[in-house]
Structures are given as C-alpha cells and as structure tokens.
Amino acid sequence: MNPSFKFFLALIISIEISLKSSLLTNLLIIFFTIIYLIYKHIKVKNLLLTLLMPLIAAFTVFATLYWFAPQPNLQNALSLSSRIYVYTLTIYCVSIGTTATELARSFEQNFHLPSKFAYGVLAALNIVPRMKEAVKQIRTAGMMRGVYLSFWSPVLYFKAILVALNSAENLAQGMASHGYRESAKRSIIVPVPVQKSDWLKSIVILFLVNLALFTLK
C-alpha cells in the first residue's frame, strides 16, 4: 500500500476510536494488526517488545479508571486502556516495510508537501545517528581530560548543539552545491504512485472499522 495511505489510514482509525468507545472493535484491531505483523515476518522478540512496552501506560489507565474512579466501569476501563495498544500497533504497521525516505517522497508527490519540509525531515532523521556519535566523542574527549559529562550535563548538550549547528550548515551548503533550490521545480527520481488498490483497501478497511464501531460495544 502507498506509504501516505497507510499513514492516514492509521491516523483516521486512531481518531475514530478516540471519539467512540468500543472494546470489541479495539480487540479486533489489535488482533488483525498482530496478524499483519506476523504476516510481515516480524521477529518474535520485536513483537513481544511491542506488546510489553505499552503495558505500563495501559495498566496505569486501567487502574486509574477502574480502581480509583468514584464509579468504576470495567468495560470502559478496558476500552480506554486497549486504545494504547491500538495506537502502538497501527503505527508499527505503518512503519514496518516503509522507510522515512519513502514516506517523505510519498507526501511530497501524492499530497504536495513542500519539498523543503520533506527534505528537512529527512535531513533531521539522517543527522540523528551523527549526533549520537558526536555525543559519544564529546564524552570520551571529556573523560580523557578528567572531566565526566553525565547524561544530564548542560555542558554536554551545549557542545552537542554546537555540533548540530555546524552539521546543519554543512548540510545546507551540500544541498546548495548539488543544485537544490527551494522554489525550483524538482524532477522525480523514484516515483511513488497511487494505485486503485490503495483506494480500495483503504475504503474497505475504514468501512469495516466504522461498521464495528457502530455495531459492537
């Protein structure tokens, strides 16, 4: 499916289950998203981590609404806490098999996102690994001088900000040297087409979700 369609499909489903409470619908979405992830050959370790990471947040919501509420309602508590798993799993379904580059290209081509935003997001994502490496180098250099820079040290982040500003300047110069112009029309190197099957799948999925929302409790 087209990356943009996957993203907006997950977004619309998340908004709809936020507006209407339906425990059975949440459970069905969770079930089918897990089936989809298994179909995509996700590692068992990653699947278990995905199910365990939202557990604290889901348990907190459940405990607050069921054990500490003036009028506890088990179904309502389960419905609201299960939403966290719906949000997590639907976003995971979007991210699996879709890179940030593909998503940015799809937004630019299919939904006319300005190229400066698309390339800006890609630049920010690609600079994250360099920033992690720069932080490690700064901490190592500090320890060689007998200065320990902790994780919350302001000096560490001040130096990291300086590295980020330098990297941003180098990136801007590199893009300009390769002929990037903000107002110029750009050619498409890797097309991301929208097919009829994308519309069909999206409509069918949204129809089934809405049908479940308004018929199941």
Q: Mean pLDDT: which of 19-23, 132-136, 159-163 is highest?
A: 19-23
Q: Is 206 exposed, middle or buried (0-12, 13-18, 19+ CB in 10 A)?
A: middle
Mean pLDDT of the 54-62 span: 88
Model confidence band, residue 35 (pLDDT cutoffs 50, 70, 90): very high
For the chain, what is the mean pLDDT? Answer: 81
pTM comes to 0.74
pLDDT tens readout for residues 72-128: 788 888 888 889 999 999 988 888 878 878 888 888 888 877 777 777 777 777 777
pLDDT tens readout for residues 168-190: 777 767 666 666 666 667 667 77
